[in-house]
Structure 1
Amino acid sequence: MSCFSSDPVSYKLYYFNGKGRAEVIRLILSAAGKEFQDIRFEFDKWPEHKPKTPQGMLPYFEFDDVTLPQSNAINRYLAEKYGMFGKNLWERTMIDVIYETGLDLREKMVEAMFEKDEGKKAELFDKLGSEIVPKYLGLFDGFLDKKTNENMFFVGNSVTIADLLVFHLLDGLLQKTPTLLDNHPKLTKNHEKVAEIPGIKKWLEKRPSTEF
C-alpha cells in the first residue's frame, strides 16, 4: 500500500514511556480522531532496541510500508495530512514561526532537565522560572494579541501544530506551576480550546501518567 493512500491500515508510534518528543505526534493523531499503537520502551530496554531503529533514536513512526524517523518531520507530515498546517503559504509560515519558537523553549527546558551537575541544574531551573519561561509566555501572548475569544487558535480558525506544541509545553509547566497562566488570559483560552477538542480530551483522559 502506498504512503500516499488516504489512510493507512495502522499507525505505530515508538518512543520511551513518556511524553517528550512523541507527545505532539500523539496529540495530532488524537485531534484527527485516528487510532494508533502507542509502543513504549522503558529506558533499561532501550539498548537492545536501539540497533533496530532507523537512526538509532526515538521516536519513529510506522505506517503501511513506511518508517519515518525525526519527530518534527513526523509532526509536519501528519499536520499536513490532517489539515493542521495552514491553508496557504503565509499561514504555514506563521505556524512554523510559532512552532520553532516553541522548539527553542523546549530546548532550554530539556537542557535543564538533563543537566547532571546538581548545582548547575538548580541554576538552569532558576533561570527558566525567572527569565526564560516568562519571556516565551510573552512571545506566545504576542501571537494571540489580535485574536478574539471565539477564535483563540494561533493561526487561522482551527487547531494547528503550533497550538499543539505550545499546549504540550505548557501542559508540562502547569503540572509544576498551576498558576503559570494566571496573568495570561488569551494563552489560557488557547490552552483550554485545545484541551476541549474531543479527540484530545479523550487522549488526555486515557494517556499514562509519566514522569516526563
Structure 2
Amino acid sequence: MAPTTIKLLYFDARGRAEVSRLVLAAVGQQFEDIRLPREKWATEKANTPFGQLPVLEIDGRRYAQSLAIATYLAREFGLYGATNEDGLAVDQVIQLSIDLSSSIARTHRERDETKKAELVKKTQEVDVPKFLEFFEKLLHQNGFGYFVGATLTLADIIVYDQLDSLIKRGFVNTEMYPSIQAFIRNVEGNENIKSYLKTRTESDH
C-alpha cells in the first residue's frame, strides 16, 4: 500500500538526504522536506531510530539509514528497473559509486599534510579516472543515456548527485568522458528534476 504522507528529515544541506530528495522530485511525489537547524539537533536526536539523520517518516513511522531510505523510495516509485536483473544492474552501479566515495574519503582521514597531498594527487590522477572509465563504459554499453535500461533509475540519481558534487568541488573533470556528459544532461533534463534543481538550496555538501 502506497504511503499517504512522507516526511524527510535532515539538516539544511544536500548531504545524505539529497539522493532521496532527488528520487521524490523525479517522480513528482509530494513530501515534507524538513530541514533541521543544527541547534535543534540535540533535542531531536532522541526521536530518531539510531541517533542520526536522515530520517524518513511514512505515515508516522520513522526509518533511518540513507541508502535504505533511497532504495525504498526508488522501489516504491518505480526507479529500480523492470526486472530482478535490472535491479542487480542498479545495485552494481550503486556499489561502484560507494567504492568511489570510499576512495575519496581516504584523503580526508589522512592527518599528515605531506602524505595527504600525495594521497589527494593519486586519488585525482589514478583512482577517480579509473571509476570514471567504469561509468563511461557502462553508459556506453547501455546506449540509452542511463545506466540501466532507457529510463531513470536510482543508479542514475546516485551517480549524478555524486558527480555533481565532485565537479563543483573541482575534484572531477568529465571533459574526456562524452557518455558521462550526456548522462548528466539527461538527468538534468528530467522536467521534475530540472524544476527541483532551480529552487533547491545550494551547498557544497
Fold match, TM over 0.5? yes
Secondary structure, counterpart of 1:145 in structure 2: helix
Structure 2: give runs of 5+ residues left out of the alignment.
Answer: none
Shift of the 184–78 alpha-carbon distance from structure 1 to 2, 3 Å rule, reads: same
1:128 matches 2:123: yes
Shift of the 111–42 alpha-carbon distance from structure 1 to 2, 3 Å rule, reads: farther
- Please give the residue correspondences for 1:1-212 in structure 2 after superposition, counting only pairs within 5 Å: 4=1, 6-8=2-4, 10-113=5-108, 115=109, 117=111, 119=113, 120-148=115-143, 151-177=144-170, 180-212=173-205
- 2:132 counterpart letter in structure 1: L
Moved over 4 A (4+): none
CA contact (8 A) 2:146 2:183 kept: yes
Shift of the 125–179 alpha-carbon distance from structure 1 to 2, 3 Å rule, reads: closer
Work out the percentage of aligned pairs sharing the same amino acid. 33
Shift of the 43–77 alpha-carbon distance from structure 1 to 2, 3 Å rule, reads: same
Structure 1: give runs of 5+ residues left out of the alignment.
Answer: none
CA contact (8 A) 2:124 2:171 kept: no
Instruction: Tell me the CA shift for residue 111 of structure 1.
Output: 4.1
CA distance in 2, matches of 1:121, 1:71: 28
Cα RMSD over matched residues? 2.0
TM-score with structure 1 setting the length: 0.88
Shift of the 171–118 alpha-carbon distance from structure 1 to 2, 3 Å rule, reads: farther
CA distance in 1, matches of 2:47, 2:172: 43
CA distance in 1, matches of 2:197, 2:119: 29
CA distance in 2, matches of 1:18, 1:118: 29
Shift of the 179–25 alpha-carbon distance from structure 1 to 2, 3 Å rule, reads: closer
TM-score with structure 2 setting the length: 0.91
